[in-house]
Each structure stands twice: as C-alpha cells, then as structure tokens.
C-alpha cells in the first residue's frame, strides 16, 4: 500500500457533521470474492472491519468532527428474522454505537446521531411495518432509508457486491413502497450512477414532498467501460445535475469522488495524493453541484471507509476545505454541518 500523505489540518476548529459513513465487518465477505479483486473490493479489504474504534480514530485525526450520520451498508442483519425484517439488525447495532458515543465518555462527539437504514421499497404496502420496526429499533435516531439503485449494463463497473435491477426508481413496485416515507417523516438517500440520473429526476418530480438527498455527486464513472470518459461525459452529468436541482425537495452530498468507481484518482487505496491535487481534480464536480443546488442544499461527506481509495480521512476534509475556500463563514457552516443537521433532524449535535 502506498505511504499515506500527511499534511497540516486546514481550519481545524470548523465544526463538521460527517453525513455519510459506514460501519461493518466484511471480513468473511471479502474473503469470498474471486481474485483478482475488483478495485472496490480492494478498497474494502484493509478496512473490512470498520466499527466504533476505527471511526473514532478517523474522526479524531485532526478535524473538528462533532457528529456523524450512519449510512446503511447491509451490515449485521438479523439472522433468523424474515427477509424483510433482517435490516432491523443493522439499526440495532448502530444504535448501540450511537449510545456509546452519547455516553459523554468521548466529549461532545456524537457518532451515528442519525441512522439511515434499509427497507425494501418494492414490498409496496409491506414496507410500512418494516419502517415501523426500524423506527422502533433506532430509539429516536432512525431518520430514513437508502435503497440503492446503482446498476450498469457492464458488470465490471460495479463488481460483485451490487445487484440492483435496472430502472429500480422508475418501477411501480418501488414507488408503491416509497410513498410511505413522506407520511412517516422519513428521508431518502438515493445512490445510483451518473448514466442513471434521469431515474432520480423522475422520482423527485413524482414525489415533490419527499426529502431526497443524492449521494456522491451522482457518481461520475471512470472505470471499466467508462475508463477515460470522464471528460466526454461531464456535460451530460452537469445537465442532469442542474435538472435535478430544480426539484426543491432534493439536496446533494458533496463527496464520493474518491471511490474507485470514479477514478479520481485512478490509483489507490490512499495513493498518497495531497489535498491540492484532489481539489483540482474534483473542483468541476463540486462547484457544479454547489452552483446548481446552492450552499443551502449541499453537504460535504466522507463516504468512509469507501473513499479511502483516494484519500485518508484528514486529507479528504482538507480537500473539501480547499474547495470551500471562497465561501462565507455562514456558507461554510451550512456545507460542513448545518445542512446535514437540518436534513437529518439532528440540530442538537451543533448545540452541544
């Protein structure tokens, strides 16, 4: 593995709520993948066991991370439960981590202050009791779901972990379950790939009262059959981002660009590239998103440990701070903490 790049922390006192990270034990899963490992799996291998201690080490590596939002990742599902209710186990596990942080033993730091779980929206009305069970398991911390829709005709783009069907967000079955979220006061995280952005545009227009956040800047692709095509696809991506931003119910997570899928950088994991280089690489995407959504509907995210492919945790947040250099103090507060706190209903984290 390349030597980690070390640099001084920029604006170390700026409060951050990291609105997107995972916790998991993927060691048995990673061991089962065929060789040679897909770049995404190669990213996961050194961080296949990522729970409270690893998260604590990253979030206390120099930046002022005051709270975090856990994002579902299929971890610690309930064995023996019926299929629809297996994801409740993940929320139970993460709620324990959140309680550990909320004990005060670690100061005012509040990990997993909001928990985003998973429920299968294609269950239609059957999704409602699952959502109720997730809410109960979250002890007030469960805020919404993610049902990822990432798909591409080229199976090499995503690799073996992902199996979403094509056109999931446009399907009647998915929308039959999705309609329950707004009436239950729940948020929705949308993850899909850049060529699929019209699907989330359609979803947002069909449900204008549903709060939606687009993960990872819409996931531009630079791997497999998309290798070398970031530049030629940029205009299509930008047009779709601008169209999606016309939906006032949609926000965007500013990050995810250090994933292996995006090839920004192509080498990894944590190839030793500094924040100045990464900021120059990501600037067209981050600035397009902020211009489109405004500083009141964007939130910087770590997507850790997946984004360790391109950057260590300290370098990642330094990169975001370089990209926000020209923003006002109010805009920085919104982009680094305030918007995440409002979207996920965890304003108390900033009041601590």
Separation CA 100–CA 129 (nearest Å): 28
pLDDT of residue 1: 46
Please check whether residue 220 lies inside any domain of the structure: yes
Which range among 160-164, 228-232, 296-300, 303-307 shows the weakest confidence by mean pLDDT?
160-164
Please check whether residue 352 lies inside any domain of the structure: no
Higher pLDDT, 41 or 300: 300
97-129: per-residue pLDDT in tens? 999 999 999 889 999 999 999 999 999 999 999
Rg (CA), the chain: 19
The predicted model scores a pTM of 0.96
Please check whether residue 8 lies inside any domain of the structure: no
**What CATH code is carried by the domain that includes residue 108?**
3.20.20.140
pLDDT of residue 246: 98
Separation CA 177–CA 207 (nearest Å): 12
Please check whether residue 4 lies inside any domain of the structure: no
Please check whether residue 3 lies inside any domain of the structure: no
Average pLDDT over residues 179-194: 98
Q: What are phi and psi of 229, to 5 degrees?
A: -110, 10
Residue 341 pLDDT more than 80?
A: yes
Q: How many structural domains are present in the chain?
A: 1
Separation CA 47–CA 24 (nearest Å): 9
Left if phi > 0, otherwise alpha if psi is -120 to 50, otherwise beta: which for 80?
left
Separation CA 34–CA 295 (nearest Å): 43
Question: Greatest CA separation found in the chain?
Answer: 53
Q: What are phi and psi of 36, to 5 degrees?
A: -70, 150
- Contact 109/154 with Cβ under 8 angstroms? no
Confidence of residue 204 (pLDDT cuts 50, 70, 90): very high
- Percentage above 70 pLDDT, the chain: 97
Element (H, E) at 21: strand 15-21
* Cα dihedral 116, 121, 123, 128 sign: positive
Element (H, E) at 282: helix 275-293
57-75: per-residue pLDDT in tens? 999 999 999 999 999 999 9
Please check whether residue 7 lies inside any domain of the structure: no
- Contact 162/219 with Cβ under 8 angstroms? no
Residue 145 pLDDT more than 70?
A: yes
- Contact 70/340 with Cβ under 8 angstroms? no
3-state secondary structure of 307: helix
Separation CA 199–CA 214 (nearest Å): 12
Please check whether residue 138 lies inside any domain of the structure: yes
Confidence of residue 36 (pLDDT cuts 50, 70, 90): confident
Please check whether residue 307 lies inside any domain of the structure: yes
Separation CA 102–CA 110 (nearest Å): 6
211-260: per-residue pLDDT in tens? 999 999 999 999 999 999 999 999 999 999 999 999 999 999 999 999 99
Separation CA 334–CA 350 (nearest Å): 11
Domain, as residue range, for 193: 15-347
Confidence of residue 34 (pLDDT cuts 50, 70, 90): confident
């Amino acid at each position: 593995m390349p030597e980690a790049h070390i640099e001084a922390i920029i604006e170390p006192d700026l409060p951050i709520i990291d609105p997107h990270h995972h916790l998991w034990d993927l060691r048995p899963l990673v061991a089962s993948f065929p060789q040679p490992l897909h770049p995404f799996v190669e990213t996961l291998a050194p961080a296949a066991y990522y729970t409270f201690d690893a998260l604590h080490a990253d979030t206390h590596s120099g930046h002022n991370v005051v709270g975090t939002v856990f994002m579902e990742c299929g971890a610690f599902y309930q064995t023996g439960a019926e299929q629809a209710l297996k994801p409740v186990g993940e929320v139970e596990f993460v709620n324990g981590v959140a309680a550990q942080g909320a004990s005060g033993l670690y100061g005012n730091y509040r990990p997993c202050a909001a928990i985003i779980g998973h429920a299968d929206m294609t269950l239609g009305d059957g999704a409602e009791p699952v959502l109720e069970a997730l809410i109960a398991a979250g002890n007030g911390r469960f805020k919404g779901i993610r049902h990822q829709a990432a798909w591409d005709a080229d199976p090499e783009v995503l690799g073996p972990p992902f199996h979403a069907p094509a056109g999931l967000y446009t399907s009647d079955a998915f929308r039959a379950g999705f309609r329950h979220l707004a009436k239950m006061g729940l948020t929705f995280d949308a993850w899909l790939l850049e060529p699929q952005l019209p699907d989330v545009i359609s979803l947002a227009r069909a449900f204008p009262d549903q709060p939606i956040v687009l993960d990872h800047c819409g996931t531009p692709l630079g791997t497999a059959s998309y290798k070398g095509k970031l530049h030629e696809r940029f205009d299509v991506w930008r047009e779709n981002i601008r169209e999606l931003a016309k939906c006032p119910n949609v926000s965007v997570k500013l990050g995810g660009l250090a994933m292996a899928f995006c090839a920004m950088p192509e080498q990894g994991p944590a190839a030793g590239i500094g924040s100045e280089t990464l900021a120059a690489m990501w600037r067209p995407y981050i600035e397009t998103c902020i211009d489109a959504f405004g500083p009141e509907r964007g939130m910087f995210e770590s997507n850790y440990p997946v984004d360790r492919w391109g950057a260590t945790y300290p370098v990642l947040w330094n990169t975001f701070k370089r990209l926000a250099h020209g923003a006002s103090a109010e805009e920085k507060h919104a982009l680094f903490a305030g918007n995440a706190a409002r979207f996920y209903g965890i304003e108390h984290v900033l009041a601590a």
